[in-house]
């Protein structure tokens, strides 16, 4: 039924005499629309664009000097501009792209509309991944508290926590963590060290404490057979974390957590990253001399951000390899 409803949005599956601008190259061909992707054909060649790759589509009406067009920006940095013989055709294709690239619910995504292999089950597949890491065992167990997402609405229903931690401790930790994102198991090294993800604590300027949160982190430390010092990695610059304290959030006060140390890693927030990426794409699309290109590339700071992320990842890997468990977070615990 959902697929039939989706196909109804495609008024015309084929558009002739369409021009495609890719970079500086303009090509004449045919645009074909199906429910998962659009396909531009010219000669014996094809360009496929899956709707899920589209991050933005801008409709440009016709003018006395230019045909109606759609500028399509993809998540992999590909930018295409498609020119149509009429505004009506451009509008029809625009509606199709928006419908499939910005569905109202996840159930309308192509992955859910397609027939799924009966033998594949997402929950069982995820549990198998944890089984490969040795969980559950004497140190880690599967909590049922998030089966209906009542503990944290943005976490998976499959939540591994240290064994024998009372439910009251998990709920208490959730109240003390931004958006309820408690420290939960993401990866386990063969040496027993664990990698847990979470969000920032709600310490605020008064340096508030949570006995439950402290108990949960203590349990994570004990779940490591080596019981080496646990490393809390706050991926933000310290100045950003301090600024969050003014809003009632912040970072762990290590004196309140035994066997821990706190390390900041200087990765900028998502807004800075997004602006830097936009600047990078603009530079890559520009037509300037090499010297100006290199200066513009440097000024967008994208490579600095990439280096900061890789440095943090490399250090976390080193901590785990050395036998220390790691808890990692930024502000709200975005992936």
Enzyme catalytic residues: 330
Contact 233, 263 (CB under 8 A): yes
The two most distant CA atoms of the chain are separated, in Å, by 74
* 159-162 vs 260-264, strand pairing mode: unpaired
End-to-end CA distance of the chain: 33
Computed on alpha carbons and rounded to an integer, the radius of gyration of the chain in Å comes to 25
Torsion of CA 297, 299, 302, 305, to 10 degrees: 150
Residue 194, strand partner residues: 188
Nearest to 155 by CA among 131, 137, 181, 177: 181
The secondary element (H helix, E strand) that includes residue 128 is helix 122-132
In this structure, how many other beta carbons lie within 10 angstroms of the beta carbon of residue 203? Answer: 22
Using the structure block, give the residue that is written with the tokens 């001399």. 289
- Cα 133 from Cα 326, distance rounded (Å): 16
- Cα 321 from Cα 327, distance rounded (Å): 14
CA 17, 20, 274, 179 torsion-angle sign: positive
Q: Specify burial of residue 288 (Cβ count, 10 A radius: 0-12, 13-18, 19+).
A: exposed
Contact 204, 217 (CB under 8 A): no
């Amino acid at each position: 039924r959902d697929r039939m409803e989706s196909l109804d949005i495609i008024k015309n599956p084929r558009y002739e005499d369409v021009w495609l601008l890719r970079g500086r190259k303009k090509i004449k061909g045919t645009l074909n629309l199906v429910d998962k992707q659009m396909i531009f054909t010219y000669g014996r060649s094809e360009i496929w664009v899956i709707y899920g790759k589209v991050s933005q589509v801008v409709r440009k009406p016709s003018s006395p000097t230019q045909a109606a067009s759609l500028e399509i920006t993809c998540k992999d940095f590909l930018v295409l501009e498609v020119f149509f013989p009429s505004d009506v055709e451009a509008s029809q294709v625009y509606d199709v792209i928006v419908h499939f690239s910005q569905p109202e619910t996840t159930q309308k995504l192509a992955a859910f509309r397609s027939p799924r292999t009966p033998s594949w089950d997402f929950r069982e597949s995820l549990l198998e991944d944890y089984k490969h890491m040795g969980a559950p065992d004497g140190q880690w167990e599967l909590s049922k508290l998030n089966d209906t997402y009542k503990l944290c609405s943005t976490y998976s229903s499959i939540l591994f926590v240290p064994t024998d931690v009372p439910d009251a401790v998990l709920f208490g930790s959730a109240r003390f963590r931004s958006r309820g994102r408690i420290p939960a198991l993401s990866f386990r090294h063969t040496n027993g060290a664990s990698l847990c993800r979470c969000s920032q604590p709600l310490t605020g300027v008064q340096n508030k404490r949570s006995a439950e949160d402290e108990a949960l982190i203590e349990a994570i430390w004990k779940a490591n057979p080596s019981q080496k010092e646990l490393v809390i990695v706050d991926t933000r610059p310290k100045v950003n974390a301090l600024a969050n304290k003014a809003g009632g959030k912040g970072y762990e006060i290590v004196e309140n957590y035994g066997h821990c140390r706190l390390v900041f890693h200087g990765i900028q927030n998502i807004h800075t990253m997004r602006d830097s990426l936009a600047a990078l794409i603009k530079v890559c699309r520009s037509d300037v001399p090499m010297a100006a290109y290199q200066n513009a590339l440097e000024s967008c700071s994208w490579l600095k951000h990439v280096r900061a992320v890789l440095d943090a990842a490399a250090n976390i890997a080193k901590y785990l390899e050395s036998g220390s468990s790691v808890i990692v977070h930024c502000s709200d615990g975005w992936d």
